[in-house]
Amino acid sequence: MTVITRFAPSPTGHLHVGNIRAALHNWLWARKSGGRFLLRLDDTDLERSRPEYADAIRADLTWLGLHWDGEERQSDRFAPYEQKFEALKAAGRVYPAYETAQELDLRRKVLLGRGLPPVYDRAALSLTPEQIAAYEAEGRAPHWRFRLDHDRPIVWTDLIRGEQRFDPKLLSDPVIRRADGSWLYMLPSVIDDVAMGVTHVLRGEDHVSNTATQIQMFEAMGAPLPSFAHEALLTGSEGKLSKRLGSLGVAHFRERGIEPMAIISLLARLGSSQPIEPFADRTPLVESFDFAHFGRAPARFDETELATLNQKIVHLLPYEAVADRLPQGMDAAAWDAIRPNLETVAGAADWWRIVTGPIDPPEAEADDRDYLAAARDILSEASFDADVWRRLTDALKDRTGRKGKALFLPLRRALTGLDHGPDMARMLPLIGRDEALRRLSA
């Protein structure tokens, strides 16, 4: 069996961190299994779906490196939906209902007020032809529901949650088509999963009850069931579900200078028993991905943890991976020197300005001026190579008796304008003899 997974966002907005996690885990499982990862744009809501959102979804997945093996758009597939709908209607598995949204809402409130579950009572099934004619004379068009089989429980073994059991009598027959003829999510998704040969459906635990009803749709069409896995939802750093998570997307992370592999490294294992580590390569994450590692406890997403992970990954990146994002003139030696002090790749530009100048160093203390003059004299005669910093500081130590902070800090301040930064043994050759002598003279 070829494993086929799918990521099925609605192009009605931008991807957020929860969407990204679902896409990643579907991608990881497909890649580990040597299967296929499909992108399906669930754009049956023609009023809210936008081409620019579809383009943004593709761009975000590409930036993350989650390349897909095939793409479908539900808006291209209305004909097969119609065909399956008519077949289910002929089999008595879908039926028209004429209640208005207000009437249904009132019924729900009455049931909740009595302490009962707000399950649809199937009143539409007992309508007489005269009642139906009266509704249609009012101008009411029906919406359509899928009729659940109440005679047997719905049971499946979830790859994360274990055995799941639902009593269909406690579920409302789901609305699958609106009165205006437009489709809701439930039935088209099943029809497409069957047509695309999807073997594994991985999504959030908020879809568990949807899965229960969709299982009966698979069965009603005589189709094999895919395997299902429902992940615990993400929570914010404050430990509860956060609306902010819905606003955190690729644009936000890119603006903060977060690397794709930092997001991948965090989300690949968030909510699992495996350690979250910085990875510069996806291969170990693909090889170690397993549904058995994930639990049912909410997964806590922390931007501070992401930033720390990002910093560690930046420190792992070779020059070739970042060369096109570095300032003009910055070579591999400069990247190796500056990289250990970076939180983001974009921060390299700030350090490169320290190298190329001009800088605005603090005024030297009175007792440091003769010391810096001595440094200038020594440096003007020294061989300016990779070992120049050691020779300079050794000579200054012998001449002045200084050591430790008193030896190094005045030099760093004069040469970089700062009290901290990259290793001066690497920085000084980058600054160059003429510029270093000018800064010491200043």
Which long-range contacts link 217-223 to residues 24+ away (Cβ below 8 Å)?
Answer: 217/146, 217/186, 217/187, 217/190, 218/190, 218/193, 218/194, 220/88, 220/91, 220/93, 220/146, 221/84, 221/87, 221/88, 221/190, 221/191, 221/194, 223/190, 223/194
Q: What is the tens place of the pLDDT at every residue in 281-340?
A: 999 999 999 999 999 998 899 999 999 999 999 999 999 999 999 999 999 999 999 999
Closest Cα partner for 200 from 316, 416, 52, 36?
36
Calculate the CA 376 to chain-centre distance.
Answer: 52
Residue 253's alpha-carbon distances to 38, 193, 250, 256, 307, in angstroms, are: 24, 31, 5, 5, 10
State the residue for tokens 């009175």: 366
> Helix (H, G, I), strand (E, B), or coil: what is residue 158?
strand
pLDDT score at 247: 79
37 vs 64: CA distance, rounded Å: 14
Tell me the pLDDT tens digit for each residue of 38-49. 999 999 988 899
Q: What is the mean pLDDT of residues 241-249?
A: 75
> Please, are residues 81 and 191 in contact by the beta-carbon 8 Å criterion?
yes
- Domains located in the chain, CATH noted: 319-356 (no CATH), 366-441 (1.10.10.350)
**3-state secondary structure (DSSP) of residue 117:** coil
What is the distance between the alpha carbons of residues 288 and 278, in angstroms, rounded to a whole number? 14
Q: What's phi and psi for 236, nearest 5 deg?
A: -80, 175
* Cβ(199)–Cβ(4) below 8 Å: yes
142-179 pLDDT tens trace: 999 999 999 999 999 999 999 999 999 999 999 999 99
> What confidence category does residue 60 fall into, taking pLDDT thresholds of 50, 70 and 90?
very high
Residue range 24-49: mean pLDDT, rounded: 96
Specify the pTM. 0.91
Residues contacting 272, CB < 8 A, separation 6+:
293, 294, 295
Q: Is pLDDT of 239 > 70? A: no
- Specify whether the CB–CB gap between 5 and 29 falls below 8 A: yes
pLDDT for residue 241: 58
89 labeled binding residue:
no
Q: What pLDDT is recorded for position 46?
A: 87
Query: Could you tell me the CA-to-CA distances from 407 to 390, 397, 400, 415, 434 in Å, in that order?
Result: 12, 7, 9, 13, 22
172-205: burial string, b at 16+ Cβ within 10 Å, e else: bbbbbbebeeebbbbbbbbbbbbebebbbbbbeb
Q: Look at residue 246 in the predicted model and tell me its pLDDT.
A: 76
Q: What is the pLDDT of residue 240?
A: 60
